[in-house]
């Protein structure tokens, strides 16, 4: 597909009038309570990264226990379960969702669609501060009597609020549920902004089929989140009622330590359905922005138009729609009827089709391309390999008869981390290396970037590849130590120690990345206006970094799609979207 506007033909007016910008009058309104989407994006990214480092530290503590059991007295079984719970929830919700939607969504959507800012800047600012409050509530749970909840990151009742679970009788579980509710409220404010800005805030000439795939990914993921997060919000509120008011939404009749509890008539399975109705779309809330970003980075750094643009758009939309009818493949061991298992196994295989289409199109984009092995391209290639590996193990787990014996083993942990941990983190890092010049006007240091990439990529495989084997031999997940269990071979004990050392090495390597970020702000090589030779509108701003309002006095007019690379007859190997001719004889739309 090539979509080029004939400059002699009139271009329609703006969908809505330009956003009336709020101009800051002090440090506080410019950098703290800012209404500029770019500042809000950095706030989201910075806070999500900070809380993500807490999640990383918790994973280190868990690996210390698994790799070297009985060596650290402060890691008790109760503490281990609390570490698991907080690590999982922090990484999936408070890091990945916040970075992709709150961080990249805020920074890139207005720039890529040619808007001054988000449509509702004040609501956008509020969304960050509600997210900030949610993080504070979450972190406070570490310091209350009894500590944070240790119910597991899925928070399954009834054990989540029974006295035998760490953090259940104090405020731990209450603060977790309140924090999740606040997060969802804050996201809803931001999500409505993203959707309305994409639909109504586009500049002249920017049709939906001229949007970069990054915008399509973030837009579709936001729609998914607006539909899926309410299920988690309802589940959180209902469990709060069960915990604080004694209701029985999820609590059946129970006897605890010989005492009949007052609960009765509730359904724990109902919570599982509500949680996973949110939980599986959440996979694609993270994955779809990653898919879009990878598509754009591959095109730029391979100097070739993306293969099958329209197919890629509809694959994103199709994945989003199908993600709502696969949730119960997480519940094969819950006692569901076999016919339901057959249905959800089938839909799980079906959703792999549009996902595979995207992998094929990425591969064909690289075929015979002028590939530049820049740091962003290396991270994109690492994502492709990791995502395919994780997807293949997902086909195992999508099959009922295979999933049942593997469901509670470390195999699931390895698969989940490859798909929902390593793969999206590769995209986040590649995107930061790619757009850092736009945000700062400086290039990140190449040598430190190469070191960071190779240690992170190789280290991730040293962690999670052996974990598949550990799961296949039957090692259960969620156990703080194995002891002298007869069915577990000696190789597992060695691999647990090896994985733990690798995890520490990869974590420490991230310090080089953070040093590079701050060092390059002052000492990095000036990037110039468009260092990668990219075509989308964020690289067409009159200032780098973009000023308030993004595009100076006049908004750009879009004449073409965002993937005009290596066009025969052009005077350079890329043509930006706001270039009416690009050194070519205009031939109209084809």
The DSSP code for 332 is G
Cα–Cα dist 105/472, whole Å: 39
User: Mean pLDDT, to the nearest integer, of 219-247?
Assistant: 95
The DSSP element (H or E) to which 110 belongs, if any, is helix 106-113
Q: Which of 242-246, 481-485, 540-544 has the lowest mean pLDDT?
A: 481-485
Chain center to CA of 532: 24
pTM (two decimals): 0.93
Q: Is the pLDDT of residue 265 over 80?
A: yes
Cα–Cα dist 389/464, whole Å: 11
Tokens of 316: 């994103």
Q: Is the pLDDT of residue 1 over 70?
A: no
Tokens of 419: 């798909």
Cβ atoms of residues 33 and 103 within 8 Å: no
Q: Is the pLDDT of residue 407 over 80?
A: yes
Q: Is the pLDDT of residue 590 over 60?
A: no
Cβ atoms of residues 297 and 265 within 8 Å: no
Local structure of 143: helix, strand or coil: coil
Give the long-range contacts of residues 324-327, CB within 8 A, separation 24 or more.
324/224, 324/227, 324/228, 324/277, 324/280, 324/281, 326/280, 326/351, 327/273, 327/276, 327/277, 327/279, 327/280, 327/281
Cα maximum dimension of the chain:
85
Answer whether the bond into residue 545 is a cis peptide, omega within 30°: yes
Answer whether the bond into residue 374 is a cis peptide, omega within 30°: no
Percent of the chain with pLDDT over 70: 95
> Would you state the pLDDT for residue 103?
95
Which residues, in sequence order, are bridge partners of residue 4?
560
User: Mean pLDDT, to the nearest integer, of 499-517?
Assistant: 95
pLDDT digits (tens, 9 = 90+) for 445-474: 999 999 999 999 999 999 999 999 999 999
Cβ atoms of residues 520 and 440 within 8 Å: yes
Tokens of 283: 């996979």
Packing angle of the helix pair 309-322, 268-302 (nearest 10 deg): 170
Cα–Cα dist 327/224, whole Å: 13
Cβ atoms of residues 115 and 548 within 8 Å: no
Q: How far is CA 385 from CA 281, 423, 461, 466, in A?
A: 22, 9, 11, 17
> Would you state the pLDDT for residue 2?
65
pLDDT digits (tens, 9 = 90+) for 60-108: 999 999 999 888 888 999 999 999 999 999 999 999 999 999 999 999 9
Q: Is the pLDDT of residue 263 over 80?
A: yes
pLDDT greater at residue 260 or residue 444: 444
pLDDT digits (tens, 9 = 90+) for 210-224: 999 999 999 999 999
pLDDT band for 587, please (50, 70, 90 cuts). Answer: very low
pLDDT digits (tens, 9 = 90+) for 346-399: 998 899 899 999 999 999 999 999 999 999 999 999 999 999 999 899 888 888
Question: Rg of the chain's alpha carbons, rounded to an integer?
Answer: 24
Q: Is the pLDDT of residue 534 over 90?
A: yes
Q: Is the pLDDT of residue 515 over 80?
A: yes
User: Mean pLDDT, to the nearest integer, of 564-581?
Assistant: 86
By C-alpha distance, which of 319, 146, 173, 142 is closest to 235? 173
Q: Is the pLDDT of residue 586 over 50?
A: no
CB-based contacts of 385, cutoff 8 Å, min separation 6: none
Chain center to CA of 176: 20
Cα–Cα dist 137/202, whole Å: 37
By C-alpha distance, which of 478, 474, 477, 481 is closest to 497? 481
Degrees, nearest 5: CA angle 387-388-391 = 85
> Alpha-carbon torsion 176, 424, 443, 107, what sign?
negative
Cβ atoms of residues 569 and 528 within 8 Å: no
> Would you state the pLDDT for residue 573?
85
> Would you state the pLDDT for residue 12?
67
User: Mean pLDDT, to the nearest integer, of 402-418?
Assistant: 92
> Alpha helices of 141-267 — where are they, by DSSP H?
172-200, 213-244
Cα–Cα dist 276/282, whole Å: 9
The DSSP element (H or E) to which 343 belongs, if any, is helix 338-366
The DSSP element (H or E) to which 495 belongs, if any, is helix 490-523
User: Mean pLDDT, to the nearest integer, of 181-193?
Assistant: 95
Three-class DSSP labels, 238-283: HHHHHHHCCCCCCCCCCEECCEECCCCCCCHHHHHHHHHHHHHHHH
User: Mean pLDDT, to the nearest integer, of 135-148?
Assistant: 95
Percent of the chain with pLDDT over 90: 71
> Would you state the pLDDT for residue 16?
67
Q: How many CB atoms lie within 10 A of CB 368?
A: 9
Degrees, nearest 5: CA angle 223-229-342 = 90
By C-alpha distance, which of 285, 565, 297, 289 is closest to 430? 297
Local structure of 191: helix, strand or coil: helix
Cα–Cα dist 499/185, whole Å: 38
Place of tokens 């209701």: 247
Cβ atoms of residues 428 and 436 within 8 Å: no
The DSSP element (H or E) to which 255 belongs, if any, is strand 255-256
> Would you state the pLDDT for residue 584?
56
Cβ atoms of residues 148 and 160 within 8 Å: no
Q: Is the pLDDT of residue 3 over 70?
A: no
Cα–Cα dist 85/429, whole Å: 25
Place of tokens 């138009």: 305
38-251+263-540: CATH architecture: Up-down Bundle (1.20)
Helix and strand counts by DSSP (H, E) for the chain: 16, 2
Q: How many CB atoms lie within 10 A of CB 369?
A: 18
**Residues in the chain, how many?**
590
Q: Is the pLDDT of residue 10 over 70?
A: no
Cα–Cα dist 211/537, whole Å: 10
The DSSP code for 305 is P
User: Mean pLDDT, to the nearest integer, of 297-321?
Assistant: 95
Tokens of 401: 């008869």
> Would you state the pLDDT for residue 114?
92
Cα–Cα dist 17/4, whole Å: 25
Cα–Cα dist 240/144, whole Å: 17
Arithmetic mean of pLDDT over the chain = 91
Cα–Cα dist 435/324, whole Å: 32
Q: Which of 269-283, 435-449, 485-499, 515-529 has the lowest mean pLDDT?
A: 485-499
Q: Is the pLDDT of residue 579 over 90?
A: no
């Amino acid at each position: 597909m090539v979509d080029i506007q004939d400059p002699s033909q009139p271009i329609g007016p703006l969908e809505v009038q330009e956003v009336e910008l709020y101009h800051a009058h002090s440090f506080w309104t410019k950098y703290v309570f800012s209404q500029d989407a770019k500042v809000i994006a950095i706030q989201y990214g910075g806070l999500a990264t900070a809380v993500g480092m807490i999640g990383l530290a918790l994973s280190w503590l868990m690996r210390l226990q698994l790799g070297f059991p009985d060596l650290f007295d402060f890691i008790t079984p109760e503490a281990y379960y609390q570490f698991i719970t907080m690590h999982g929830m922090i990484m999936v919700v408070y890091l990945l969702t916040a970075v992709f939607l709150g961080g990249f969504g805020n920074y890139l959507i207005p720039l890529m669609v040619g808007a001054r800012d988000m449509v509702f800047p004040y609501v956008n600012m509020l969304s960050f501060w509600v997210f900030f409050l949610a993080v504070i509530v979450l972190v406070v749970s570490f310091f209350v009597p009894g500590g944070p909840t240790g119910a597991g990151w899925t928070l399954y009742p009834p054990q989540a609020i029974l006295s035998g679970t760490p953090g259940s009788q104090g405020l731990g579980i209450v603060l977790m549920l309140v924090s999740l509710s606040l997060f969802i409220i804050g996201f809803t404010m931001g999500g409505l902004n993203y959707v309305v800005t994409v639909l109504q805030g586009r500049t002249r000439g920017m049709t939906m089929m001229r949007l970069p795939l990054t915008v399509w990914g973030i837009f579709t993921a936001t729609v998914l989140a607006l539909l899926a997060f309410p299920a988690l919000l309802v589940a959180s509120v209902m469990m709060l009622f069960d915990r604080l008011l004694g209701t029985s939404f999820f609590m059946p009749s129970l006897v605890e330590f010989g005492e009949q509890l007052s609960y009765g008539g509730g359904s724990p399975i109902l919570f599982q359905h509500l949680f996973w109705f949110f939980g599986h779309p959440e996979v694609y809330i993270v994955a779809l922005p990653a898919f879009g970003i990878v598509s754009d980075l591959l095109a730029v750094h391979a100097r070739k138009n993306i293969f099958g643009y329209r197919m890629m758009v509809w694959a994103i939309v199709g994945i989003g729609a199908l993600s709502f009818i696969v949730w119960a493949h997480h519940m094969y061991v819950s006692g569901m009827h076999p016919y339901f298992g057959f249905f959800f196994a089938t839909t799980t295989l079906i959703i792999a089709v549009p996902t595979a289409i995207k992998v094929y199109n990425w591969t064909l984009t690289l075929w015979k391309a002028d590939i530049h092995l820049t740091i962003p391209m290396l991270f994109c290639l690492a994502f492709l390999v990791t995502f395919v590996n994780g997807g293949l193990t997902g086909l195992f787990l999508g099959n009922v008869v295979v999933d049942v014996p593997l469901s509670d083993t470390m195999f699931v942990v390895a698969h989940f981390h490859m798909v929902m941990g390593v793969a999206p983190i590769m995209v986040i890092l590649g995107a930061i290396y790619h757009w850092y010049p736009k945000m700062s006007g400086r290039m990140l240091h190449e040598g430190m970037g190469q070191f960071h990439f190779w240690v992170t990529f190789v280290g991730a495989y040293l962690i999670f590849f052996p974990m598949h084997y550990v799961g296949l031999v039957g090692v259960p997940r969620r156990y703080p130590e194995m002891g002298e269990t007869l069915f577990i071979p000696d190789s597992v004990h060695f691999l647990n120690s090896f994985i733990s050392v690798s995890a520490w090495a990869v974590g420490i390597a991230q310090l080089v990345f953070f040093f590079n970020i701050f060092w390059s702000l002052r000492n990095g090589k000036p990037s110039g206006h468009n260092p990668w030779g990219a075509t989308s509108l964020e690289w067409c701003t009159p200032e780098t970094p973009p000023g308030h309002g993004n595009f100076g006095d006049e908004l750009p007019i879009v004449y073409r799609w965002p993937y005009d690379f290596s066009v025969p007859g052009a005077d350079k190997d890329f043509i930006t979207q706001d270039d009416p001719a690009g050194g070519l004889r205009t031939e109209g739309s084809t």
